[in-house]
Structure 1
Amino acid sequence: MSLMKMVTKVAVGFAVAKGLQKVQQSGGIGKMMDGLKGGAAQGQGTAQVGSAQSGGLGGLLGQLSSGSGGGAAAGGLGGIGGLLGGLAAAKNGQPAGSSLEELLSQDNPPEEPPQEETAGLMIRAMIMAARSDGKIDANEKETLMATIGDDATAEDMEFVRAAMQEDVDANKIASETPNGMETQVYSMSVMAIEPDHPAEAKYLHELATALGIGQATVNEIHDSFGVQRLYS
């Protein structure tokens, strides 16, 4: 597995983990993952990545399971924008997250950075955001690892483990973000958490400031994912 495909799996893992408490009362993580895969199988063939009308998160997970790649694995920043738009759509039950994709398309680097470097940065951004409240809890970690699955290489898994040990530092992630990728990195960070904890809000504020993203754009990104706005 390449890190580009791992981006999609990590993103779906965090998206699933957000709803973990809601499903624990009805069978736990195993039943939830089976349900997602089952829903995806019904929607394959006609589904577009992430469309809530064609399987939502199940569609994303099913396309990964079937080897079609989907999302970020489809190639470069356009794939990442499609993945984020799809996750926003699946979370909010709306067609294709076009509003977020349009927002992301406004920021493009003069030269697209190497895909593996881009993927590594996105994975680290998601994991760092998820750890900004102090830790990734056991349930979140279980969900993430279940979504990554058995086809990840030892090298890929080592990369994820190293990211989980990295110091939480918004300025460091921002300093490593290529020009034109600021909105993508911030959106990935928001997608990975529910910013309702003071430490998470503080981290996202520091990240947005370091990336040079304005408050109106920050709130628009939060609206796309249906999470609490950072600024009033």
Structure 2
Amino acid sequence: MQDAKRLLEQFLGGGQASGGGGGGDFLRGAGGGALAGGLAAILLGSKTGRRLGGDVLKLGGMAAVGALAYKAWRDWQAGKAPAQTAEPARASTPLLPAPPGTPFNPVNEMGQQRLARHLLRAMIAAAKSDGHVDAQEQARIFGEMDKLSLSSEDKAFVMDELRAKLDIDAVADAASSPEEAAEIYAASLLAIDIDNAAERGYLAMLAARLKLDDALVDHLQQTVTTASASAPAPV
């Protein structure tokens, strides 16, 4: 049986709040960057990926994405300017888990697994958005995946998503609420560095399909950027 929530921890680590097994070793890879090793590094190949530190690492997995999206959402609703949320990590308000029972943090297992699948699909689609995951790259990824402790169902999920045609509408249509739309966008930001026109274009189209307010998009981008900037550099 596929465990999307655990698979997401293979991408983003399994922090204290998630209680995932095996995530701790992943988090310690390459200077503590959450996307510095493991499945994310295999998927992203030569791409740098986002490095997260501090409170984000303590949360890990789905909780980390939810916390980032919730912070951006809360700041946006409060009418803050994105620049006001960009203080150094040591001076900023601690990143808090999203409240249980909200779209950012479902309380039942079915809701958690559903959200985790949507976030995983968003991350894989974002990673494919610049076209670097071709057939040859897929073969390399599948070979590297065999070295990880993944169930056959989890491997099949990643393989199917990698092989599938990039479908931005499917990613956006998965959002059942504005809050989940924000979280899907946050997960997409985590999967890539915006270093070329294809990635920037993909994110712009995704924000439009998700019907995200421009100011909320700015907050989501600033929140993820600030969290990345607080991480230690790989050694």
Per the normalisation by structure 1, the TM-score is 0.57
CA RMSD of aligned residues (A): 4.5
Question: What is the CA–CA distance in structure 1 between the aligned matches of 2:128 and 2:175, rounded to whole Å?
Answer: 19
Question: What is the CA–CA distance in structure 1 between the aligned matches of 2:203 and 2:139, rounded to whole Å?
Answer: 21
Check 1:114–1:2 CA distance in 2 against 1; reply closer, same or farther (3 A cut).
Answer: same
Find the counterpart in structure 2 of residue 128 from structure 1.
125
Mapping 1:5-154, distance limit 5 Å: 5-11=6-12, 36=29, 52-53=53-54, 71-72=60-61, 78=63, 80-82=65-67, 94=89, 108-109=102-103, 112=106, 114-136=111-133, 150-154=148-152
Deviation sequence 1:141-179 (CA, Å, 0-9, x none)? 978986996321011011011111122122221112121
Check 1:94–1:110 CA distance in 2 against 1; reply closer, same or farther (3 A cut).
Answer: closer
- Percent of aligned positions that are identical: 23
Check 1:183–1:39 CA distance in 2 against 1; reply closer, same or farther (3 A cut).
Answer: closer
Q: Which runs of 5+ in 2 are unaligned?
A: 14-25, 34-50, 71-86, 227-235
Question: What is the CA–CA distance in structure 2 between the aligned matches of 1:97 and 1:11, rounded to whole Å?
Answer: 22
DSSP-derived class of the 2:148 partner: coil
1:189 Cα offset (Å): 0.3
Question: What is the CA–CA distance in structure 2 between the aligned matches of 1:84 and 1:96, rounded to whole Å?
Answer: 20
Question: What is the CA–CA distance in structure 1 between the aligned matches of 2:27 and 2:181, rounded to whole Å?
Answer: 35
Find the counterpart in structure 2 of residue 174 from structure 1.
172
More displaced 10-residue stretch of structure 1: 211-220 or 136-145:
136-145
Q: How many residues end up aligned between the 2 structures?
A: 175
Per the normalisation by structure 2, the TM-score is 0.57
Structure number with higher relative contact order (C-alpha < 8 Å, ≥ 6 residues apart): 2
Q: Which runs of 5+ in 1 are unaligned?
A: 13-32, 41-49, 61-69, 86-91, 228-232
Mapping 1:203-214, distance limit 5 Å: 203-214=202-213
Q: Is the 8 A contact 2:5 2:113 kept in 1?
A: yes
Check 1:198–1:139 CA distance in 2 against 1; reply closer, same or farther (3 A cut).
Answer: same
Check 1:178–1:160 CA distance in 2 against 1; reply closer, same or farther (3 A cut).
Answer: same
Q: Is the 8 A contact 1:9 1:148 kept in 2?
A: no
